[in-house]
Amino acid sequence: MLALPLSDPGVPETRSPGRFLLWCARSQARVLATGSTFGVVWMVSQAMIPLALGAGLGAILHRSKHEIVLWSLVVLALGLLQAVAGVLRHRRAIASFLICASRVQQLIARTATALGGDLARRVATGEVANIGASDIERVGEALDVVARFAGGVVSYTVVAIVLLVVSPPLGAIVVLGVPLAVLAVVPVLRPLERRQTAERDRRSEASSIASDTVTGLRVLRGLGGEQVFARRYDRASGKVAAASVRTANLQALLDGAQVLLPGAIVVAVTWVGAHLAVDRSISAGELVAFYASAAFLVIPMQTFVEAASKWTAAVVAARRIVAILTMERHMPAGDVAACGEGPSGDLVDEETGVRIAPGTMTAVVPSTPEEGTELLERLGRWTSPGPGFQVRWGDVPVVTLPLEWYRAHVVMLERSPFHLRGIVREVLAPVDATDATDAVDDADATDPTDAADATDATAATDATDAGSDLGTGAAGRRSSTARSPRLTMTEALDAAQASEVVTSLPAELDTHLPEQWRTLSGGQRQRLSLSQALLADPDVLLLDDPTSAVDAHTEAAIAEALASVRRGRTTVVTTTSPLVAEQADLVVVLEGRARTAGRHEQLLEADPAYEAQVLRGGAR
């Protein structure tokens, strides 16, 4: 059994696609070496069978019973050896494919985790989908063929040496013919790589259009734009088809060469061998052996061409993979052990001058939605500040803090987050859901209501067990206001006004939600996402306009509950809603820089521009 996924995929060589492929091969050198050994035994035993058959035919012509029995046993032994070695070679080849594919998958996942929100901004969804769907497979196939390629090289060498020793003219045909046949396909490889690259680009574009269309299908239906995007995808799909045909034309040329070139060598060996047999330079048995050996050379020749094709495709795929793996956020990871309990003081964004006091709820009213998003992304370390600026936590630049530690203490809820498919209770609180499942199993509970109670009970128990740590950790430790206890799932759903969303689902908390929760409305998704963020219970919670998709009544209830359940913990929310702003301890007006700050009521009286901004749309 393979121990997959790997405990450590390693640090890849990303200076070029070729170096990356070589690194993948070196990383599993033992598997490739054993596979190649079995491949050599497998193919050499096949190459020796025609020679043994030729010797056996000679024994028949000489009527030597002893030699007939001997060569029959040799053929049987070679056949058994070929079968066993073939099975073992295939197992190692599949292992090579799986290990390589798993390694690359883990590397991509590790990079995607490190990039976080940057990945979606820098790489199209279709590009990532194609890497997972095809590129990883292409790289795995490049190592899958290594064992057969090694067997082909050795078996070709064996056959060439035997033919040279027995009959130099026939040996010369093989020694010169096979390399020339392989070189004949080399000019096709570079154009094939270019066409495969073009095809890959077209597929990525089509996948991105399809992903965007499916994700925004509700909006498109409302705007009547389904046919427009359908035509866009139809055009993109047509480009994929055209690029695939161009690639297939060259691939067909390679496939034809696998038959034509070895066939030409077989014809040449047979023609020369027949003349030598007529002249009695070789025996009839040797003629049969030489013909069968030449026919066998079709196998290594096909392997050589297949390897060239797969390695070309792997280089194209590796180029895309390396492009992802070399993306960096240039954020030092820091030392977790040296971090201790973390910094104390205000969270400050030097680029805008926004200062967040610990243990308070701060509403940021930006001049544009994008400006508010960029602020939260800097505070959450999803992007870096501009040149010369930093985000500081007290006197500590946050880039010097361990990213793992920072992610555990500072959580950002995006305006349009990606929603993973799964059971409601599990996607809202994975750890609590797992613990609750264990509790239900121990109690032999079978009723969904019991399971929900178990979830809440587990969350409450966790909060009690970790009370001192949560109460003294990070932002909570720095607040003079007593912080609220950790929420149970029921309390979080109530605070986000999402309880009615859950009760409307077919199986409530046990309902399976599809990817992006597309069966829910925008407001329902937003409320469940907010409850998810509240359950995470971070010391610093960053919310990007979390009530934009709900009605005024629901928004007012959410704002009031948010101020209550997050009391004593640091909360930053971007908004232009007066219902949310009036619940905040401090409102910061952001126009490039922090223009003014104060309580909502004070700003309404002292700042006409602020009043116009938050009241222009009414109380939603």
Q: What is the pLDDT of residues 256-292, one digit of tens each?
A: 877 787 778 778 878 887 888 788 777 777 777 777 7
In a domain, 6, yes or no: no
Q: Do 171 and 233 reside in the same domain of the chain?
A: yes
Q: Do 267 and 360 reside in the same domain of the chain?
A: no
In a domain, 308, yes or no: yes
CA distance 254 to 186: 10
In a domain, 360, yes or no: yes
If one counts the domains in the chain, the total is 2
453-461 own/partner pairs: CB under 8 Å, 24+ apart? 455/425, 455/429, 455/488, 455/489, 455/509, 456/488, 456/489, 456/490, 456/491, 457/488, 458/432, 459/429, 459/432, 459/486, 459/487, 459/488, 459/489, 459/535, 460/486, 460/488
Q: Do 588 and 508 reside in the same domain of the chain?
A: yes
Phi/psi for 452 (5° steps) reads: -65, -40
Q: Do 244 and 368 reside in the same domain of the chain?
A: no
In a domain, 262, yes or no: yes
Q: What SS3 string covers 588-610?
A: EEEECEEEEEECHHHHHHHCHHH
CA distance 568 to 571: 9
CA dihedral sign of residues 301, 303, 306, 310: negative
Q: Do 238 and 368 reside in the same domain of the chain?
A: no
pLDDT at 2: 61
Say whether pTM exceeds 0.75. Answer: no
Q: Do 86 and 176 reside in the same domain of the chain?
A: yes
Tokens matching residue 152 = 């082909």
CA distance 230 to 392: 48
In a domain, 228, yes or no: yes
Q: Do 300 and 241 reside in the same domain of the chain?
A: yes
- Which CATH number fits the domain that encloses residue 97? 1.20.1560.10
- Which CATH number fits the domain that encloses residue 603? 3.40.50.300
Q: Do 307 and 356 reside in the same domain of the chain?
A: no
CA distance 333 to 114: 10
Q: Do 136 and 195 reside in the same domain of the chain?
A: yes
- Are residues 378 and 349 in contact, defined by beta-carbon separation less than 8 angstroms? yes
- Are residues 156 and 297 in contact, defined by beta-carbon separation less than 8 angstroms? yes
**CA angle centred on 617, ends 612 and 618, rounded to 5°:** 90
In a domain, 280, yes or no: yes
Low-confidence ranges of the chain (pLDDT < 50): 1, 330-338, 432-482, 617-620
- Are residues 376 and 384 in contact, defined by beta-carbon separation less than 8 angstroms? no
Show which of 296, 325, 354 is a domain's final residue: 325
10 Å Cβ neighbour count for 173?
23
In a domain, 2, yes or no: no
In a domain, 4, yes or no: no
Give the DSSP letter of residue 233: H
Show which of 325, 359, 375 is a domain's final residue: 325
Domain range holding 587? 343-615
Q: Do 157 and 205 reside in the same domain of the chain?
A: yes
In the chain, % of residues over pLDDT 70: 82
Q: Do 299 and 398 reside in the same domain of the chain?
A: no
Show which of 325, 355, 378 is a domain's final residue: 325
Q: Do 263 and 369 reside in the same domain of the chain?
A: no
CA distance 455 to 447: 13
DSSP string, 423-491: EHHHHH-HHHHHHHHHHHHHHT---HHHHHHHHHHHHHHHHHHTHHHHHHSHHHHT-SSPPPPPPPHHH
